[in-house]
Amino acid sequence: MSKPPRAWQRMLSGRRLDLLDPTPVDIEIEDIAHGLAFVARWNGQTRGDHAYSVAEHSLLVETLFSRMAPGIAPKWQLAALLHDAPEYVIGDMISPVKSAVGPGYEDLDTRLTAAIHIRFGLPATIPAEIKKQIKQADRVSAWMEAIEIAGFSMTEADKLFGKPDQTLIRGLSIQLRPPVAVRADFTARHHTLLAQIG
């Protein structure tokens, strides 16, 4: 009888996260921030001297979400910041690959998301309206990334992600920074939002 494959990962915090049955107790923000700061979006196919990380993307999505919904409760801002948090262990896949992989990826993502949300005092499942608003912010971020660093024309980006309201993105731009700086900013923003929820 063969031994079942290992389904857990050792985190830098020392936690042992079971990827198939994650529990909130094994989730630490430092592990999430570290992992996301080193995971490249667009499969690393971006201009610049640093990869554009999922952590940097998450900070931008949270900013956009907060602009789209002024006065929104800090817990939903936290949900926006953590919208891609499972990628700290399962990586970032571009949408065409996610579609090809099928429901297995989505099931894993859903289980990890629920454990992460519970760990930080959010409901396991975010209300549909909030989730929709976060997705809108995510698409605006993708549009910005596509034209600024991923080599897409504006016409392509408009077709794929929808043309955003220009007032929404005024003063914002894509930043390419070393992972250690992004990790620190992601962790700090998380702590700020948790304190506001307090």
* pLDDT, position 104: 75
Those residues of the chain that have pLDDT short of 70 are 1, 94, 98, 101-103
Burial per residue of 11-34, b for 16 or more beta-carbon CB atoms within 10 angstroms, e otherwise: beeebebeeeebeeebbbbebbbb
pLDDT digits (tens, 9 = 90+) for 97-131: 767 766 677 888 999 999 999 999 999 999 999 99
- Please report which helix (H) or strand (E) contains residue 169, including its range: helix 166-169
* pLDDT, position 91: 85
**Structural contact between residues 62 and 81, judged by C-beta atoms closer than 8 angstroms:** yes
* pLDDT, position 20: 86
* pLDDT, position 127: 97
* pLDDT, position 98: 67
* pLDDT, position 88: 95
pTM tops 0.75, yes or no: yes
Residues linked to residue 17 through DSSP beta bridges, in sequence order: 9
* pLDDT, position 5: 73
Strands 16-18 vs 8-10: parallel, antiparallel or unpaired: antiparallel
Residues linked to residue 9 through DSSP beta bridges, in sequence order: 17
How far is the C-alpha of 52 from the C-alpha of 129, rounded, in Å?
Answer: 28
Q: Is 71 left (phi over 0), alpha (psi -120 to 50) or beta?
A: left
